[in-house]
Structure 1
């Protein structure tokens, strides 16, 4: 049995997960991210104590504790190197948990653990190599190679959202220009749609549905209008699809995985998005006549972080 902790800016989800990636028990508390690190660490320790008590009721020992974080951990599992939305830098979370519980501790990026979860019991299950791309406020990724999580020699690998794919009209939060995140995220869709409307493209359902208030534009709204045939919305979505397809093709040319799963809030556009991406990716590949990775939608949703964090103990 394994413990998984999914640490987010809004909530901390914790659970007991069996060998097959099935959640046996889970609990959720508010993060209250404005607090000091030590206060949040104390909450995590209490959650783990509760989970260990529950595992004893099942008559099972906990083999390890895995944590998914919106940031990166060091390769030893001792420190969270940074976690921007919690204001953490080089905090000894793993080190302190090892001391407290005398169990193996694993810390990985939240998108990486979600990718592992999809590989264990989701859309990429059964594959030996897979890539998970999450499209939300930003773009994240998880890479599985030979059935194991890949995060690089220094723990900073699989930052798919910061692959440079072109020149953009605004810089990424990381300071670079041209990151995939600035083309393919929900934020990117909103920014580009707002830009082209401000430049005179006023004949659009988007203005009608927002009452002319550009601050009310959402990625979902743009997709909905694109499905209705709106020209402005389709221009924005087609641009997003182009650069997402370039990013995926770069990954396929480099790693040649068996399957790619797309998750996150933007993926709720479903087959409308998926079919557009499938049609474009092939045109950017080096070997166009050889079978390449299937591209599918992720299936696990909100439980992916918890399951994947727990499974680090088995597949790291």
Structure 2
């Protein structure tokens, strides 16, 4: 058995996962970021301890612990180098867990972990080379090549959201201009729609849906309006799809994956979104007369973090 932990800004989710990647038991607790690293580390240890005890009471053993984090860790899985949402810098999470439990501990970025889960149990299972994109507040990614996680020589690869795909009207949080996540995230979609409305584009059902209050605007409202044929909503969605497709096309040209899965909150737009992406991507693929990657919606949703973290041992 394996234990997977998914650390988010709102909740810490942990689970027992079997050899097949099925979750046997889940537990979670609130993150409460304001408490600081030490208190959160204690909660993680308590969750793991409870699950480990359950495994051992049934005569089984825990072989390893995997952790998904909203940031990056060092190549030895000892130190979490940076987690913006958790306000962590250079904290010894992996080192401390290894010492406490005397087990192998693996730590990876949460998007990497989610993509790994899809490869084990979800939409990209059976493909040696796959790409996973999570479109939410930002854009994250996971690259698997020959059944192994690719994260570069220093553990900071697969930052797909920060590939430059164009020139934008605002800078990314990383300091650059033109990052994919400033075009293809929920945040980007909302910012652009607000920009158009503030510039005078008022003939839209969006304003009725939000009672004229731009603070109520979200990506779902924009997509729902686009599905209803709203001109402004479709203008925003089509712009997002264009730049997302530039990014996907570039990644296809570079790595030629067998399949690409789209996850995150925006993926809830389903076939409406996929149809647009599938129509646009071939414009940016060099050899589009040859079969290239299928593009699908990710399957595992909220369980991906636990499953992927627990299965890290198989992909290192």
TM-score by length of 1: 0.99
What is the Cα deviation at residue 249 of structure 1? 0.6
Root-mean-square deviation (CA, aligned residues, Å) is: 0.7
The correspondence of residues 84-99 of structure 1 with structure 2, limited to 5 A, is: 84-99=84-99
What is the Cα deviation at residue 58 of structure 1? 2.8
Contact conserved, 1:63 with 1:313, CA < 8 A, in 2? no
- Aligned with 2:175: secondary structure? coil
> Which residue of the partner structure matches residue 171 of structure 1?
171
What is the Cα deviation at residue 192 of structure 1? 0.2
- Unaligned stretches of 5+ in structure 1? none
What is the Cα deviation at residue 217 of structure 1? 1.1
- Aligned with 2:176: secondary structure? coil
1:260 and 2:255 correspond: no
> Which residue of the partner structure matches residue 76 of structure 2?
76
Q: Deviations over 1:133-178 (max 9, x none)?
A: 0000110001111111111111101111111000000000111100
The correspondence of residues 279-290 of structure 1 with structure 2, limited to 5 A, is: 279-290=279-290
The correspondence of residues 201-240 of structure 1 with structure 2, limited to 5 A, is: 201-240=201-240
> Which residue of the partner structure matches residue 25 of structure 1?
25
- Aligned with 1:85: secondary structure? coil
What is the Cα deviation at residue 200 of structure 1? 1.2
> Which residue of the partner structure matches residue 298 of structure 2?
298
Contact conserved, 1:2 with 1:313, CA < 8 A, in 2? no
1:183 and 2:183 correspond: yes
1:315 & 1:200 partners in 2: Cα distance?
Answer: 51
1:262 & 1:204 partners in 2: Cα distance?
Answer: 28
1:202 & 1:159 partners in 2: Cα distance?
Answer: 36
> Which residue of the partner structure matches residue 310 of structure 1?
310
1:2 & 1:314 partners in 2: Cα distance?
Answer: 11
Q: Deviations over 1:233-280 (max 9, x none)?
A: 000000000000001011111110000000000010000000100011
1:13 and 2:13 correspond: yes
The correspondence of residues 55-204 of structure 1 with structure 2, limited to 5 A, is: 55-204=55-204
2:129 & 2:206 partners in 1: Cα distance?
Answer: 40
Q: Deviations over 1:6-26 (max 9, x none)?
A: 000110001110111000111
- Unaligned stretches of 5+ in structure 2? none
1:41 & 1:91 partners in 2: Cα distance?
Answer: 10
1:98 & 1:227 partners in 2: Cα distance?
Answer: 50
What is the Cα deviation at residue 199 of structure 1? 1.0
- Greater than 3 Å deviation, 4+ residue runs: none
TM-score by length of 2: 0.99
Q: Would you say how many aligned residue pairs link Structure 1 and Structure 2? A: 316
